[in-house]
Structure 1
Amino acid sequence: MGSREALRSAARLATYSAGLQVLFRVLTFVLNAYTLRYLSKEMIGVVNVRLTLCNRYSSLPPGSLSVNQGEPAWICERLTLLYSTVVFLAREAFRKACLNVGAEQKWAQIINLLWLTVPVGVLWALLLCWVWLWFVTAPDPALIPHYEVGVMAFGLSAVVELLSEPLWVLAQVHMLVRLKVMAESLAMVAKCVLTVVCVTLVPHWGLYIFSLTQLVYTSFLLACYAIYFVKFIGSQEAQRTSFPLSRVTDLLPKLLNHQPVVHPRLATLTWTFFKQSFLKQILTEGERYVMTFLNVLNFGDQGVYDIVNNLGSLVARFLFLPIEESFYIFFAKVVERGKGAGHQKQEDVSMAATVLELLLKLVLLIGLTITVFGYSYSQLALDIYGGSMLSLGTGPTLLRCYCVYVLLLAVNGVSECFTFATMSKEEVDRYNFMMLALSSSFLALSYFFTWSQGAVGFILANCLNMGLRIVHSLQYISRYFSLSECRPLSGLKLPGPLLLVYLGSGIVTTFSEAVLCCELGLMFRLLHVMIGAVCLIIVLITIYFTEPKLVQFIRTQFLSRDKKET
Structure 2
Amino acid sequence: MSMKTNEKHHGDGQPPSLAAASLASASSLVLLQLFSRVFTFVLNQALVRLVTPQVFGTASIQFELLLSTILFLSREGVRNALLRNSTQSSTKPKETNLADNVALLPVLLGIPVTVTTAYIYLYSSSAATSSQAHFHLSAVIYALAAFCELLSEPLYIKAQNELRFDIRVKTEGTAVLMKTVITFLALVLTSAEWALVAFAAGQAAYGLTMLGGFLKAYRFKADYIPKKVSVKIHDNTEIQYFDTELLNLSAAMTVQSVVKHFLTEGDKFLVSRLSPLADQGGYAVASNYGSLIARIIFQPIEETSRLFFSKTLSATASNSQESLQIVSNVLMVLLLLFTHLFLILVTFAPPYLSLALNLVLPPRYLQTSAPAILRTYVYYIPTMAFNGILEAFFTSAATPKDLRVQSHWLLLFSLSFVGTAVLLARGLGLGDTGLVWANVGNLWLRAFYAWTFARQFFKERGAGELVRWRKAVPPFKVLVVFAASAAVTRLSEITIGSGPLTLRGQALHVFVGAGCVLGCVAACFVCERKTFQQVISILRRR
Which category describes the TM-score, using the shorter chain as reference length?
0.7 to 0.9
Alignment TM-score, normalising by the size of structure 2: 0.87
Separation in 2, partners of 1:23, 1:511: 36
Find 2:516's aligned residue among 501, 524, 535: 535
Aligned CA distance change for structure 1 residues 303 and 195 (closer, same or farther; 3 Å) = closer
The answer on whether the counterparts of 2:57 and 2:283 sit within 8 Å (CA) in structure 1 is no
Aligned CA distance change for structure 1 residues 83 and 22 (closer, same or farther; 3 Å) = same
Tell me if 1:373 matches 2:348: yes
| Cα deviations by residue, 1:298-348 (Å, 9 ceiling, x for unpaired) | 3443333332222221111111111001110000011139x9x9x712211
Name the residue aligned to 1:467: 444
Please state how far the C-alpha of 1:475 moved relative to its aligned partner. Answer: 1.1
Tell me if 1:256 matches 2:234: no
3-state SS of the aligned residue for 2:219?
helix
Aligned CA distance change for structure 1 residues 491 and 269 (closer, same or farther; 3 Å) = same
Separation in 1, partners of 2:243, 2:483: 53
Name the residue aligned to 1:213: 202
The answer on whether the counterparts of 1:91 and 1:117 sit within 8 Å (CA) in structure 2 is yes
Structure 2 matches for 1:256-405, cutoff 5 A?
Answer: 256-258=229-231, 259-293=239-273, 295=274, 297-336=275-314, 344-386=319-361, 396-405=371-380
The answer on whether the counterparts of 1:93 and 1:270 sit within 8 Å (CA) in structure 2 is yes
User: For structure 1, which segment, 539-548 or 196-205, has the greater mean C-alpha deviation from structure 2 after superposition?
Assistant: 196-205
Aligned CA distance change for structure 1 residues 208 and 493 (closer, same or farther; 3 Å) = closer
3-state SS of the aligned residue for 1:168?
helix
The answer on whether the counterparts of 1:371 and 1:407 sit within 8 Å (CA) in structure 2 is no
| Cα deviations by residue, 1:461-488 (Å, 9 ceiling, x for unpaired) | 1122112112211211111111126423
Name the residue aligned to 1:8: 20
Aligned CA distance change for structure 1 residues 381 and 99 (closer, same or farther; 3 Å) = same
Aligned CA distance change for structure 1 residues 480 and 529 (closer, same or farther; 3 Å) = same
Name the residue aligned to 1:458: 435
Please state how far the C-alpha of 1:517 moved relative to its aligned partner. Answer: 4.4
3-state SS of the aligned residue for 1:257?
strand
Name the residue aligned to 1:500: 480
Separation in 2, partners of 1:208, 1:463: 33
Name the residue aligned to 1:72: 55
Separation in 1, partners of 2:207, 2:66: 15
Aligned CA distance change for structure 1 residues 288 and 206 (closer, same or farther; 3 Å) = closer
Separation in 2, partners of 1:194, 1:464: 38
Find 1:172's aligned residue among 126, 150, 160: 160
Name the residue aligned to 1:54: none
Please state how far the C-alpha of 1:250 moved relative to its aligned partner. Answer: 6.8
Please state how far the C-alpha of 1:285 moved relative to its aligned partner. Answer: 0.9
Q: How many residues align?
A: 510
Separation in 2, partners of 1:421, 1:141: 41
Name the residue aligned to 1:50: none
Separation in 1, partners of 2:208, 2:514: 44
Aligned CA distance change for structure 1 residues 315 and 113 (closer, same or farther; 3 Å) = same
Separation in 2, partners of 1:282, 1:266: 24
Tell me if 1:21 matches 2:9: no
| Cα deviations by residue, 1:3-49 (Å, 9 ceiling, x for unpaired) | 6622222222122112112211232344456xx5xxxxxxx5xxxxx
Separation in 1, partners of 2:15, 2:473: 26
Please state how far the C-alpha of 1:421 moved relative to its aligned partner. Answer: 0.6
Separation in 1, partners of 2:523, 2:402: 40
User: For structure 1, which segment, 23-32 or 326-335, has the greater mean C-alpha deviation from structure 2 after superposition?
Assistant: 23-32
Separation in 1, partners of 2:102, 2:530: 41
Tell me if 1:551 matches 2:515: no
The answer on whether the counterparts of 2:339 and 2:472 sit within 8 Å (CA) in structure 1 is yes
Q: Specify every segment of 5 or more residues in structure 1 that has no aligned partner in the other structure, as ranges.
A: 37-43, 45-59, 232-247
Please state how far the C-alpha of 1:194 moved relative to its aligned partner. Answer: 3.9
Find 1:87's aligned residue among 59, 65, 71: 71
Name the residue aligned to 2:456: 479
Please state how far the C-alpha of 1:189 moved relative to its aligned partner. Answer: 2.7
Tell me if 1:190 matches 2:202: no
Find 2:214's aligned residue among 225, 240, 249: 225
Counterpart residue identity of residue 465, structure 1: N
Aligned CA distance change for structure 1 residues 137 and 173 (closer, same or farther; 3 Å) = same
The answer on whether the counterparts of 1:304 and 1:395 sit within 8 Å (CA) in structure 2 is yes
Separation in 2, partners of 1:531, 1:546: 23
The answer on whether the counterparts of 1:3 and 1:348 sit within 8 Å (CA) in structure 2 is no
Please state how far the C-alpha of 1:514 moved relative to its aligned partner. Answer: 1.2
Structure 2 matches for 1:403-482, cutoff 5 A?
Answer: 403-451=378-426, 452=428, 453-482=430-459
Name the residue aligned to 1:40: none
Q: Specify every segment of 5 or more residues in structure 2 that has no aligned partner in the other structure, as ranges.
A: 1-8, 232-238
Please state how far the C-alpha of 1:169 moved relative to its aligned partner. Answer: 1.1
Separation in 2, partners of 1:299, 1:138: 11
Please state how far the C-alpha of 1:136 moved relative to its aligned partner. Answer: 0.8
Identity across aligned pairs (percent)? 27
Aligned CA distance change for structure 1 residues 195 and 395 (closer, same or farther; 3 Å) = closer
The answer on whether the counterparts of 1:446 and 1:458 sit within 8 Å (CA) in structure 2 is yes
The answer on whether the counterparts of 1:324 and 1:417 sit within 8 Å (CA) in structure 2 is yes
Counterpart residue identity of residue 95, structure 1: R
